[in-house]
């Protein structure tokens, strides 16, 4: 039998999706599964985006430009200006999802065996993108006790070596929902300038900010124009995960020129999805007002319910729609599998994402899970009731 590549063998499974076969089997057995494991919003995509696809007059579904439709990029630049991000269409390359943008950014910033420092826990696929690009993730631990705030700059600085090429952050954070303060972003800006590094910021949850938190983009900070790379996507902003349209934005011309070469190798982003994404930019502000209010209410319901479960610790997210919960179990992955294979409450159970996969440090996050509050409020209440009973049952078995 031919030998599989070492890279393929060490490619990590998704902690979000790896338990899907058990969930499917539970459903086949007649159980109802409440999905707290995946950030798939249940909110309708903007009607204006759907209509734009339905009402197209395209006769030939041809390639688009490798860097994306000029008209879409111009409208994106106008959108960013409303967010205190002064860019033009030439600073933007449209990608097939934020995932491709992240992979392109890592490929552009780092060579094989170079290092990228990332606060952990982090979006699990960062591990996968690093493996794909033969790049080493160097984690710096953020702590639940501090609500997963930015680790100290001294902690970052201690990890910088001659192989360090970038720092990667997610703001607001997935899986923590933490929103970095302006002071924290400025501290990172000073650090990347000092060591001549890239600062890659995954800002796909920019719109989802709660309470008194405020989002500060890396591209709104003066003096790091040559260092900053912004990653974005329509997936969560407009509840259009299936569109697979993202973008990479930078004022660094060499970065954009390099990313374009990677983009040319995959030819072009999908046409219909760009049409939908361009139309989505016309979504009225009221859409976000309603959505953010809805998510904040869901967050509050979830946090209240989780805090009432004996032995559970949970952080307080300020953005996105996730939190990290530490459970009174020895191994959250085994517990998550047991929930699907061996447990139900009146024919119902829950699916959660074990958090160990959101760390790169072996042994971290073993008792933690990521919970997505993307369900309607009554379903969230029921899911937490089930989880409370399940933990008690699991401890007694």
Residue 33: is its pLDDT beyond 80?
yes
Mean pLDDT (whole number) for 275-292: 94
Distance CA 268, CA 69 (A): 10
Topology of domain 47-280, CATH: 3.40.640
Answer for the pair 55, 48: CB distance below 8 angstroms, yes or no. Answer: no
pLDDT of residue 125: 94
Distance CA 151, CA 143 (A): 8
Distance CA 196, CA 260 (A): 22
pLDDT of residue 323: 97
CA distances from 98 to 5, 126, 174 (A): 26, 11, 13
pLDDT of residue 294: 94
Distance CA 216, CA 181 (A): 7
Mean pLDDT (whole number) for 191-200: 98
Mean pLDDT (whole number) for 58-64: 94
Mean pLDDT of the chain: 96
More reliable by pLDDT, 14 or 96: 96
pLDDT of residue 211: 83
> What are the start and end residues of each CATH 3.90.1150.10 domain in the chain?
6-44+286-396
Output DSSP code: residue 346.
Answer: T
In what side-by-side order are the strands of the sheet with 313-314?
A: 313-314, 322-326, 368-372, 353-354
* 377-396 helix and 332-341 helix, angle to the nearest 10 degrees: 110
Answer for the pair 298, 159: CB distance below 8 angstroms, yes or no. Answer: no
pLDDT of residue 51: 96
Model confidence at 15, pLDDT cuts 50, 70, 90, reads: confident
Q: Which stretch of 36-50, 171-185, 263-277, 311-325 has the lowest confidence by average pLDDT?
A: 36-50
Mean pLDDT (whole number) for 20-27: 95
pLDDT of residue 189: 98
Mean pLDDT (whole number) for 190-199: 98
Phi then psi for 345, rounded to 5 degrees?
Answer: -120, 105
CA distances from 168 to 186, 197, 231 (A): 14, 10, 10
Model confidence at 13, pLDDT cuts 50, 70, 90, reads: confident
Total Cβ atoms within 10 A of residue 84: 12
Query: How many helices and strands, by DSSP H and E, does the chain display?
Result: 13, 13
Model confidence at 41, pLDDT cuts 50, 70, 90, reads: confident
This prediction's pTM: 0.96
Model confidence at 14, pLDDT cuts 50, 70, 90, reads: confident
Residue 317: is its pLDDT beyond 90?
yes
Mean pLDDT (whole number) for 265-272: 97
N-terminal to C-terminal alpha carbon distance within the chain: 44
More reliable by pLDDT, 30 or 42: 30
Model confidence at 67, pLDDT cuts 50, 70, 90, reads: very high
Match 């374009």 to its residue by tokens.
260
pLDDT of residue 39: 84
Share of the chain above pLDDT 90, in %: 94
pLDDT of residue 104: 98
Mind listing the pLDDT tens digit for each residue in 215-249?
A: 999 999 999 999 999 999 999 999 999 999 999 99
Bridge partners of 8? Answer: none
Model confidence at 16, pLDDT cuts 50, 70, 90, reads: confident
pLDDT of residue 38: 87
Topology of domain 6-44+286-396, CATH: 3.90.1150
In what side-by-side order are the strands of the sheet with 92-95?
A: 92-95, 246-249, 228-233, 198-202, 164-170, 115-120, 136-141
Mean pLDDT (whole number) for 191-212: 96
More reliable by pLDDT, 375 or 17: 375
Mean pLDDT (whole number) for 194-211: 96
> What are the start and end residues of each CATH 3.40.640.10 domain in the chain?
47-280
Share of the chain above pLDDT 70, in %: 100
Distance CA 247, CA 277 (A): 11
Mean pLDDT (whole number) for 267-281: 97
Mind listing the pLDDT tens digit for each residue in 349-363?
A: 999 999 999 999 999
Mean pLDDT (whole number) for 7-15: 87
3-state class (DSSP) for residue 157: helix
């Amino acid at each position: 039998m031919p030998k599989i590549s070492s890279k393929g063998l060490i490619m990590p499974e998704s902690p979000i999706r790896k338990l899907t076969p058990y969930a499917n089997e539970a459903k086949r057995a007649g159980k109802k599964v409440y999905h707290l494991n995946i950030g798939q919003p249940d909110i309708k995509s903007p009607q204006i985006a759907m209509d734009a696809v339905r009402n197209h007059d395209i006769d030939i579904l041809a390639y688009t430009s490798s860097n994306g439709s000029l008209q879409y990029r111009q409208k994106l630049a106008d959108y960013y200006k409303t967010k205190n991000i002064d860019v033009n269409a030439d600073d933007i390359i449209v990608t097939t999802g934020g995932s491709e943008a992240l992979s392109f950014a890592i490929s552009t910033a780092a060579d094989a065996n170079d290092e990228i420092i990332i606060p952990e826990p982090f979006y699990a696929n960062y591990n996968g993108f690093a493996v794909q690009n033969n790049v080493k993730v160097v984690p710096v631990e953020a702590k639940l006790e501090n609500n997963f705030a930015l680790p100290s700059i001294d902690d970052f600085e201690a990890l910088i070596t001659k192989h360090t090429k970038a720092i990667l952050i997610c703001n607001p954070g997935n899986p923590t929902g933490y929103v970095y303060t302006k002071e924290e972003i400025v501290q990172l800006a000073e650090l990347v300038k000092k060591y001549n590094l890239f600062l890659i910021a995954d800002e796909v949850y920019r719109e989802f900010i709660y309470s008194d938190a405020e989002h500060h983009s890396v591209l709104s900070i003066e003096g790091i124009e040559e260092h900053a790379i912004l990653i974005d996507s329509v997936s969560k902003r407009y509840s259009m995960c299936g569109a697979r349209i993202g973008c990479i934005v930078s004022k660094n011309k060499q970065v954009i020129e390099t990313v374009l070469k990677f983009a040319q190798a995959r030819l072009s982003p999908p046409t219909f999805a760009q049409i939908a994404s361009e139309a989505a930019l016309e979504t009225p502000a009221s859409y976000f007002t309603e959505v953010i209010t809805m998510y904040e209410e869901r967050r509050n319901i979830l946090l209240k319910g989780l805090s009432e479960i004996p032995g559970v610790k949970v952080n307080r997210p300020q953005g996105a729609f996730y939190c990290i919960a530490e459970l009174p179990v020895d191994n959250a992955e085994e517990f998550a599998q047991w929930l699907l294979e061996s447990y139900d409450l009146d024919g119902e159970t829950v699916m959660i994402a074990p958090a160990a996969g959101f760390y790169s440090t072996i042994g971290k996050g073993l008792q933690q899970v990521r919970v997505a509050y993307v369900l309607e409020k009554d379903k969230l209440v029921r899911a937490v009731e089930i989880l409370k009973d399940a933990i008690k049952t699991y401890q007694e078995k």
